[in-house]
A and B are shown apart, each in its own frame.
Chain A
Amino acid sequence: MKIRTLLGSAAILAVTAASALAEGETVGFAQIGSESGWRAAETTLTKQQAEERGIDLRFSDAQQKQENQIAAIRSFIAQGVDAILLAPVVATGWDSVLEEAQEAEIPVVLLDRQVDSSDELYLTAVGSNLVHEGEVAGEWLVNAVGDEECRIVELQGTTGSTPAIDRKTGFENAIEGHDNMEIVRSQTGDFTRAQGKEVMESFLQAENGGKDICALYAHNDDMAVGAIQAIKEAGLAPGEDILVVSIDAVPDIFKAMADGEANATVELTPNMAGPAFDVLEAYWADGTAPEKFIQTESRLFTQDDDPTGEYEARKGLGY
């Protein structure tokens, strides 16, 4: 009895000590580099989140090289940081450095991408569910067209890449069972604006000048932006004659939505650090072990969600 009270008060003491310490904790962030606009926005938001929470963030840019990331993690361990955020550039080859972090009792949180190592070597992984993103986009279109016939064209991401496969699967899941909806053409646009435009031109050409197309589903916003130009040049009104739904929520798609040229986008949030810091604060406070995968929200944005405001809010994030 006496022991239990003692333990209890010790725990309370530990909790108060920890919450006092949450201010001024040091976190090392081993970022991949600046491979894309989305990545730059993730870096900006991570720094913002750390500042808001009073966390001292040590940032390392690995310039897309795993050896640089491993070196950064080793130096974070040597500095004795309180936690490490890692956005792994590749999936394999992390075992030994993660073990070193574990021996030093430093929790590691993976951001955005996964690793092949055993999940005991890291605290948790924060990321988005790509299949779910496709489903959200598909569900929006299902609701938007109702019972009408809808011939859909699809702009896929880079052939064979995980986002392309998963976003395609998710969308197909969502429209399954709706016999009025059919994907009539599907081609890769390589995630780029130029390819998105070129492939959309051929879709329009092949589908009676675009009159037979009811909707476009693009695996990312950039391809949708390119395709919107192709639709306009073919003399049709994107957003009205052809519905446009895509994924990522980059600033330029909000501009298109504000002009009524795109209809909906699903956000791949660059704020992976927010949930990661939430988990870490709970862990520092009382050692709560989180689940091994924390799925970020795949929020749907439509023309009703103040696209102009969203554009203004996002354009400074470095997209």
Chain B
Amino acid sequence: MLLKRIAPQLIALAALILLVTLVYPDFLDISFRDGRLVGPVIDVLKRGAPVALLAVGMTLVIATRGIDLSVGTVMAICGAVAAWAIASGWGLAPALLLALAAGAAAGLWNGLLVAVVGIQPFVATLILMTMGRGIAQLITEGRILTFNHPGFAFFGSGTVLGLPVPAWLWLLTGVGVALLMRRSALGMLIEATGINRRASALAGVNATVLLIAVYMASGLCAALAGIVVTADIRGADANNAGLWLELDAILAVVIGGNSLLGGRFSILAALLGALIIQTIDTGILLAGFPSEYNLVIKAALVLVILVLQSPRIAAEWRIWRESQRASREALAERSRT
């Protein structure tokens, strides 16, 4: 059941890895050096962390028939908050908590605008998307706020059991949230709200609280992503951190076969979508094409994957196969007589 749901994504990922291996034969090589795993695949797991983390929150938001355009900006804010706290000597735990609190607050703001004020999610989150980078710039005073703190840098470039910390972060977040959604009724309630908010409210679902909570979850995921990218470069770059990543996150959710119209969702498939995007990115870098081709190649591959996944194409394919079989049988029938 689960395997059938994520089969298209798994096939797409496998085909993509095959393609990348053709242009860069060592893609699947993994070696063990100085207590850490090294190799392109490990890079994909590590570099995919921001989009994968964002995709977890974005899946939930999209399942409620919403969208969160502010996540890239929230990353910048949370990164700036964390860097500011570290640089002013607050210590690791308070800095992390402060960053997560900033993410939750941003989510609360979005959630209130959507669920209570009733602004369309696209517009409501657009407000924070445009305004937030200014907030981040205010915190960093317009410069790249750097710090030297090995404990915080660990979240960007450290390893646990050989695997990079960012990879652990998105794996644990993804699995944790997916289990929470499916082992409790939460996932079903979110889907119900996405399909018909009024009907689910009449059925006794507290849709308002649920919506706010979903946007806060998205904010928290963005905060984690912000912590990862800030720790990675040991500095908060308010202008560039998370820039356009909201679009990659939405793309990951869509490649994961989740409908932008809300309802049924799969976090696992969205995470595979994030991996697909990162495999394309890393593959392009390793292949060594001139950089003018990067975006064209990425767009072409995404297009192919989405077209192959579309239900319409699948239906046409089935009809075509049926008709082939029918004509073959008719032919066999005629030759027999």
Contact = CB atoms under 8 A, between A and B. Distances in A.
B43 A193 contact: no
Contacts of A188: 291, 294
Contacts of A197: 232-233
A206 interface: yes
Contacts of A198: 47, 285
A156 interface: yes
A45 to B, nearest CB: 15
B interface secondary structure, majority: mixed
Nearest to B288: A185
A interface secondary structure, majority: helix
Given A202-B43, A206-B286, A193 B235 contact: yes
A199 B143 CA distance: 22
Interface in B219-237: 229, 232-235, 237
B144 A205 contact: no
Nearest to B146: A252
Interface string B274-290: 00000000100110101
A187 B237 contact: no
A24 interface: no
Contact of B232 (A40, A194, A206): A194
A193 B234 CA distance: 10
B144 A222 contact: yes
Interface string B231-270: 0111101011100000000000000000000000000000
A308 interface: no
Contacts of B294: 159, 188
Given A37-B143, A202-B282, A206-B286, A194 B291 contact: no
Contact of B234 (A36, A185, A229, A318): A229
14 contacts: A159-B292, A187-B285, A188-B294, A193-B233, A193-B235, A195-B240, A198-B47, A199-B285, A205-B43, A205-B286, A206-B24, A225-B233, A233-B157, A235-B34
Given A194-B229, A194-B241, A229-B234, A202 B286 contact: yes
Interface residues of B, number: 30
Interface in B301-335: none
B142 interface: yes
Contacts of A195: 240
A283 interface: no
B8 interface: no
A271 to B, nearest CB: 18
A129 interface: no
Nearest to B293: A159
A156 B291 contact: yes
Contacts of A187: 285, 288, 291
Contacts of A185: 288
Interface string A7-37: 0000000000000000000000000001011
B36 to A, nearest CB: 9
B33 interface: yes
B141 to A, nearest CB: 8
Contacts of A201: 43, 47
Contact of B291 (A36, A159, A229): A159
A319 B143 contact: yes
A195 B245 CA distance: 13
B282 A186 contact: no
Interface string A89-120: 00000000000000000000000000000000
Given A194-B233, A194-B240, 15 more contacts: A36-B239, A40-B143, A159-B291, A159-B294, A188-B291, A192-B240, A193-B144, A195-B240, A197-B232, A197-B233, A198-B285, A199-B285, A205-B39, A225-B233, A229-B157
